[in-house]
Structure 1
């Protein structure tokens, strides 16, 4: 049995927060495409959107990830939980990779420190939404509560 709560009372709030995170990624990506239009795909210049360094490649990736989060939020039925958890881990890896290469020529996504922090926070928020958004039957909820009270 997983250690994530089933039918958490604040589940709709977490689902809405996950959707807002996806919406932020889409808006950031769209603004990034507008700002970096005409630049090379992985340009390493001073292009900034909402105070974050970006380029065309990272803007497109942000839109893709945001659309995936929004699609999962719209579908629900624990699909959003799986999508939020996997994309949360992906965002954290991207953020740590960006931090590792921030002052090198390998900074493909033109990250700045602010970008690293925002992407890491977005990943942590999606992970939280994935942990508390699980839906299940009453039997699953009772089994989780029984196991939780034993611990």
Structure 2
């Protein structure tokens, strides 16, 4: 009688931080997403600090159409700098950073949506900040997952090849 181990087929596990050549064209997408968002956040944070807004001021101080205070400005500068560093590095680092920061923006949007009009809204979020968090989160996740997650990746895609190594070795990938 055969055990369950003999009937199992080997599974290929693909980590999202592997299999992308340094010079692959997907790196441009990851760099563009991280760089553009990083520049916006950096500018937003710097302009917020220049206005000398109180650190935890919850008043109506607006910068670039978004409500802000000193704490949000500093957080924006740090995240913007992190995204710009990812854009400079490129490749898998930029892709993974886009995905992680995108999820963080979505989580921030939900948390701050719950905190609107409460005394715990120490980052001075208004509804436009929440919407901005949702939009930027989805955009960053899209930039980070572009070319990595799909049901119809082209066969020259390094992630498709990593998932189908047995078919590539056989010389006849399925279509």
TM-score by structure 2 length? 0.71
> 1:46 matched to which residue of 2?
60
Question: Quick check: which one's helix share is greater?
Answer: 1
Size of the aligned set, in residue pairs, is: 145
Q: 1:139 to 1:73 in 2, by over 3 A?
A: closer
CA offsets 1:22-46 (integer angstroms, 9 cap, x no match): 11111111111112x1x43111101
Of 94, 102, 118, which aligns to 2:132? Answer: 118
> 1:25 matched to which residue of 2?
41
Of 67, 70, 88, which aligns to 1:74? Answer: 88
Q: Distance in 2 between matches of 1:110 and 1:14?
A: 30
- 1:13 shift after superposition: 3.3
Q: Distance in 2 between matches of 1:74 and 1:87?
A: 16
Q: 1:141 to 1:48 in 2, by over 3 A?
A: same
Structure showing greater radius of gyration is 2
Q: Distance in 1 between matches of 2:158 and 2:120?
A: 50
Q: Distance in 2 between matches of 1:138 and 1:27?
A: 35
Q: Distance in 1 between matches of 2:91 and 2:15?
A: 18
Q: Distance in 2 between matches of 1:75 and 1:133?
A: 18
- 1:144 shift after superposition: 4.2
- 5+ residue gaps, structure 2: 1-12, 149-155, 168-172
CA offsets 1:112-146 (integer angstroms, 9 cap, x no match): 11111112211111111111266xx9765424478
**Higher-RCO chain (CA-CA 8 Å, sequence separation at least 6):** 1
Of 109, 134, 138, which aligns to 2:123? Answer: 109
CA offsets 1:31-79 (integer angstroms, 9 cap, x no match): 11112x1x43111101011111110000100110010011011012311
Provide the alpha-carbon RMSD of the alignment: 2.9
TM-score by structure 1 length? 0.81
Aligned residues of 1:32 and 1:59 also touching (Cα < 8 A):
yes
Q: Distance in 2 between matches of 1:96 and 1:77?
A: 29
Of 81, 85, 88, which aligns to 2:99? Answer: 85
